[in-house]
Amino acid sequence: MLQTALTIGIDIGGTNTNWGIVSQDGHILHTGHLPTQTAKDPVDFFKALYHQIEPAISLYNHNEIKGVGIGAPQTNFHTGNMMNAANMPWKGMVPIREIATSIFQLTVQVTNDANAAAIGEMTYGAAKGMRDFIVVTLGTGLGSGIVSNGQLLYGHHGMAGELGHTIVSREGRTCGCGRKGCLETYVSATGIVRTAKELLEKEKAIETTNSIKTGVLQTTYKKNENIQAHQIHEAALSGDPLAIQIFNETGTILGRALANVVAITEPEAIILFGGLAKAGALLFEPTLNAMEANLLDCYRNQVKLIPSGLQEREASILGCAALGWLS
């Protein structure tokens, strides 16, 4: 058996939990997954998870595994706790770090999923070698992980990086957080669906018979189906003008918000990560155009807007594993 140095990365999502045992150079040597809903009690969940990982762990000496890194929604690096996470089976305050430490008998670090993605990009992905960058995760909501001077910006209580909850429109869309006009109500999988529905309703109200009305999205909407983000993406790829307009509006709102963030943190690059970012040029072009158009002179043509350098599932495991090295 070779003497080696490894960490365990665990990415806990609302639906699935992915884990990997990862070498220092970023190779996932063992991996697996478990439905997060496996257990209603978080202690039972971590016991089941350990049971699944244990055969792989037993292939190594205990001192070869240097630590565990866990990424999970609404989870705080400083306190080690998950707090009121939406879409999770565990409610209220869950002491993730304490539970995992006692079950794995290893040092455990925890953080939220966007921060884990930022660590993953910095260690193994598109931000390798960068000291100042931002990862924007575009999933059901909009998360962000900010790295400055080569360090994750955690903030005073470990709650920095809530770019999705900056207000971009006074009296704008109602947000799940109880306020109005948050960026994530426009720029996220759910936000883009809201934009689609708004535009479709507006068209209906106009009651014209112009050619746009025969588009893919209109047909879907007429059938009273729920529109999903991936359908808007597919419609745009097939040239549907309304779907393209939806991406343009979404990118414009994101680009304007990013221009303001650049004035505050001046990153070398902004990395778009997650489902919506897979739309590629459909989203990147209007975002970059709006960002550049709204930047202060001295920042123009300086900030790269780039896609994630990692496969999504891999990225989250690698990010968590990299966090494990902080142990």
Of 23, 3, 2, nearest in space to 317 by CA: 23
Count residues contacting a copy of itself (CB under 8 A)? 41
| Of 299, 307, 309, 325, the one binding a copy of itself by CB under 8 A | 299
| Of 86, 206, 281, 296, the one binding a copy of itself by CB under 8 A | 296
Q: What 8-state DSSP symbol labels residue 25?
A: T
Q: What 8-state DSSP symbol labels residue 61?
A: -
Please state the φ and ψ torsions of residue 194, each to the nearest 5 degrees.
-65, -40
Q: Does 190 bind a copy of itself (CB under 8 A)?
A: no
Rounded CA gap, 84 and 311, in Å?
A: 28
Q: Does 302 bind a copy of itself (CB under 8 A)?
A: yes
Q: Does 263 bind a copy of itself (CB under 8 A)?
A: yes
Cα dist from 93 to 70, 96, 102, 167, whole Å: 16, 9, 17, 27
| Residue 173: count of CB within 10 angstroms of its CB | 16
* Closest separation in Å from C-beta 168 to a copy of itself: 9
| Residue 5: count of CB within 10 angstroms of its CB | 13
Amino acid of residue 60: Y
Stretch that binds a copy of itself, among 12-20, 30-38, 48-56, 176-184 (CB under 8 A): 176-184
Q: Does 37 bind a copy of itself (CB under 8 A)?
A: no
Q: Does 265 bind a copy of itself (CB under 8 A)?
A: yes
8 Å CB contact between 135 and 273: yes
Q: What 8-state DSSP symbol labels residue 76?
A: -
Q: Does 163 bind a copy of itself (CB under 8 A)?
A: yes
| Of 63, 92, 171, 178, the one binding a copy of itself by CB under 8 A | 178
Structure tokens at 234: 């597919």
| Of 21, 146, 216, 277, the one binding a copy of itself by CB under 8 A | 146
* Closest separation in Å from C-beta 82 to a copy of itself: 13
Helix/strand number for the chain, H first, E second: 9, 12
Q: Does 292 bind a copy of itself (CB under 8 A)?
A: no
Q: Does 261 bind a copy of itself (CB under 8 A)?
A: yes
Q: Which is nearer to a copy of itself, 106 or 167 (CB)?
A: 167
Rounded CA gap, 308 and 285, in Å?
A: 16
| Of 26, 95, 155, 309, the one binding a copy of itself by CB under 8 A | 155
Q: Does 165 bind a copy of itself (CB under 8 A)?
A: yes
Residues that bind a copy of itself (CB under 8 A): 83, 131-132, 144, 146, 148-149, 151, 153-163, 165-167, 177-179, 256, 259-261, 263-268, 294, 296-299, 302
